[in-house]
Amino acid sequence: MIRYYETMLIFHPETDEEERRKIMDRLRSLIQDFKGRIAKVDEWGKRRLAYPIKKLREGYYVVLNYALDPEGLGEIDRRLKLEEKVLRFQTIKLKRLEEEEGEEKTSEEGS
């Protein structure tokens, strides 16, 4: 059963665009390996953190919306924990997935 998720990533503020793109490409391919699909990638850019993380006061925020079988979520979490350039991340389950074009898909009943 496919479920909908949103993951917010906070990258180290000095991570250049190329490194962020490589990490996001690895994350995209991992989601696709588990028969998932990405609906939206929203780059918020560099923002001030609410509290210091690893003595840093800024981070680069990226929000990722995707559909995925729950079995793949553990592997995504594991890989993100190993990624040195990711300061923090959090994944939440969504009831529906907001598409990039502005369309919304309703979630399946019984979720």
Q: How far apart are CA 110 and CA 37, in angstroms?
A: 21
Residue 1's pLDDT is 83
pLDDT at 23: 95
Tokens, residue 20: 């962020």
Kindly tell me the sign of the dihedral angle through the C-alpha atoms of 91, 62, 72, 84.
Answer: negative
Give the per-residue pLDDT at 36. 92
Q: Walk along the chain (111 residues) and give the pLDDT tens digit of each residue.
A: 889 999 999 999 999 999 999 999 999 999 999 999 999 999 999 999 999 999 999 999 999 999 999 999 999 999 999 999 999 999 999 988 766 544 444 333 343
Q: How far apart, in whole angstroms, are the C-alpha atoms of residue 45 and residue 60?
A: 5
Domains, the chain, ranges and CATH?
A: 3-96 (3.30.70.60)
pLDDT computed for residue 99 by the predictor: 64
Query: Rounded CA gap, 8 and 47, in Å?
Result: 13
The residue assigned the tokens 């560099």 is 46
The angle subtended at Cα 78 by Cα 74 and Cα 84, nearest 5°, is: 155
